[in-house]
Amino acid sequence: MGEWWRGAVVYQIYPRSFQDDSGDGIGDLAGITRRMAHVADLGCDAIWLSPIFTSPMADMGYDVSDYTNIDPLFGTLADFDALVARAHGLGLKVIIDQVLSHTSDRHPWFAESRQNRANPKADWYVWADPQPDGTPPNNWPSVFGGPAWEWDTRRRQYYLHNFLTSQPDLNFHCPAVQDALLDTMRFWLDRGVDGFRLDTVNYYFHDARLRPNPPFPQPDGRPAVNPYEMQEHLFSKTQPENIPFLKRMRALTDRYGARAMVGEVGESQRSLAVMEEYTRGTDRLHMAYSFDMLGPQFTPAHFRKQIEGFFAGAPDGWPWWSFSNHDVTRHASRWAGHGPDTDAVARLAIAMLVGFQGTIGLYQGEELGQTETDLTYEEITDPPGLKFWPENKGRDGCRTPMVWERGAPNGGFSAAKPWLPVKPPQLARAVDAQRAAPGSVLAAYRAALAFRRAEPALREGATRFLDLPAPVLAFRRVWDGRAVTCVYNLSPQSVTLRLGGPATPVGPAEGCTRAGDRLTLAPCGYGFFASPEGAPPALAPA
């Protein structure tokens, strides 16, 4: 099990919204532990916990004020230990979020750093003098709006913040910062975690010369909703010094045996290249993911480009593919126009994911076909939504609570008013309403994940794409003399293909019918076919 992560299925839990057992309307570790069997029964191999550390929660835990303790909202270290023990007892690995690029401005490190320019932690954060006219050191913007620089009156300098002003960036050019962060990782490894999800892994280092970023022309010639997208971020992130630090992290985790790291590549302009670079070889990250499959694109050419392109650039690297997470619109809603209804899109999506070469990530609720929650401005809490409303409504629509019981208050999530509302469209998709329904999205997820677990070609096989016209996506996964052909109709119209050569139906299928040498796929239909590795591809245009 040294490489348990390779081809694994990882279920992301957003702790605030999974299960509230303390009765304050916010999910907690005890609630996660109580509901853990749901994840194991689904057929997953691991869980990823979004941040649970001490935090003022300006960015819902992605602003850490103590890297080695649990925020009281979620429980205690003893609660965390109980969660890990329960997960391991169910055969699940535990990955925790590590937010290393920045801290909260409430972190003791920052409190000391900002006192003056001569204290022991004076260079632990990115400080810079103003330009002669008092303006910021350069043109770098914040992802959350406005300049990436905030004036501090005590030091009479600016500090860098790639996100909120209350999230100052650590200075990774300082060796003591690297050592301190590795110590925090060691703390959790000693506590039994199986790996880390590394937030904004390409943001660690900045250009030490603070050179300004050049402009990035917009495709339509209009300003972007978020001005951050109007720069090519050559100097504010993704610096070459990142690689040696990734190697230090890998050396640390390797000392603990079967551990794994997955990096979130926050890069919209050259994400595939960064994923390849960060996972190449055996001394960097185990896995990386970007936002390329978390956007609106839903074409065979797009998915082929991501998978084929990654393995062409890093044949010894390893990707992580997801369609949803806590930062993006839920894919059942995002891709709704590509099927007869959102449930059909959700069933197609999991059939696609289980066929993809790589590790796959699921986001809580997607196994229910959960849709984006429509929130009013008064209901949202997310900083980007508050800043860029209404063109960007923020991320709260995908973060509303899990729904466990359709007839219970707040879907069984909490006896108190939840921190985000549970609305009727989401309540209708409760776990108990789908558990015994054979045609439910939950049933489709269980069947697809069981198929992937039972089929070595889907976990370990190489990918060979078939040249079929859109809207058909098709490829073969080949392993140990066996080929499994995966075929999907990415549209709301039926398509017909010609089936030739040996092809035995295997695994789950939907809207996939065969008549002689003709194979018809209904809207969002899919199927899997097994054949000997040396046999010719079984599919061709009709």
pLDDT tens digits, 261-310:
999 998 877 899 999 999 999 999 999 999 999 999 999 999 999 999 99
Judge if the upstream peptide bond of residue 471 is cis by omega within 30 degrees of 0: yes
Backbone angles phi, psi at 111, to 5 degrees: -55, -40
DSSP state of 525: E
pLDDT at 4 over 80: yes
298: exposed, middle or buried (Cβ count in 10 Å: 0-12, 13-18, 19+) = buried
In this structure, the number of other CB atoms found within 10 A of the CB of residue 534 comes to 8
Q: Give residue 382's pLDDT.
A: 87
Residue ranges per structural domain of the chain: 9-104+175-452, 462-541
Per-residue pLDDT tens for 175-225?
Answer: 999 999 999 999 999 999 999 999 999 999 999 999 999 999 998 889 999
Per-residue pLDDT tens for 322-346?
Answer: 999 999 999 999 999 999 999 999 9
pLDDT at 139 over 80: yes
Segment 390-413 shows an average pLDDT of 94
Which residues are marked as active site? 199, 267
pLDDT at 507 over 80: yes
Q: Give residue 536's pLDDT.
A: 76
pLDDT at 162 over 80: yes
Segment 503-526 shows an average pLDDT of 95
Nearest partner of 48 among 361, 431, 397, 402, judged by Cα: 361
What share of the chain in percent tops pLDDT 70?
Answer: 100
Tokens 């289980």 -> residue: 354
Segment 250-270 shows an average pLDDT of 94
In this structure, the number of other CB atoms found within 10 A of the CB of residue 96 comes to 21
Rounded CA separation 401/420 (Å): 7
Segment 236-254 shows an average pLDDT of 98
Q: What superfamily in CATH does domain 9-104+175-452 come from?
A: Glycosidases (3.20.20.80)
Distances (CA, A) of 273 to 198, 202, 304, 461, 463: 18, 12, 15, 23, 19
Contact criterion met (CB below 8 Å) for 157 and 136: no
Q: Give residue 516's pLDDT.
A: 86
pLDDT at 1 over 70: no
The DSSP secondary structure of 235-272, one letter per residue, reads: SSS--TTHHHHHHHHHHHHHTTSS-EEEEE---SSSHH
Two tokens, residue 533: 């590795």
Helix, strand or coil for residue 386? helix
With a CB cutoff of 8 Å and minimum separation 6, the contacts of 250 are 261, 283, 284, 285, 286
Query: The domain 462-541: what is its CATH number?
Result: 2.60.40.1180
3-state SS, one letter per residue, for 34-63: HHHHHHHHHCCCEEEECCCEECCCCCCCCC
Tokens 């900083």 -> residue: 383
Q: Is the pTM of this model over 0.95?
A: yes
What share of the chain in percent tops pLDDT 90?
Answer: 92
Q: What is the mean pLDDT of the chain?
A: 96
Two tokens, residue 147: 């300049």
- DSSP element (H, E) containing 349: helix 342-355
Rounded CA separation 302/271 (Å): 14
DSSP state of 125: B
pLDDT at 501 over 80: no
What residues are paired with 142 via a beta bridge? none
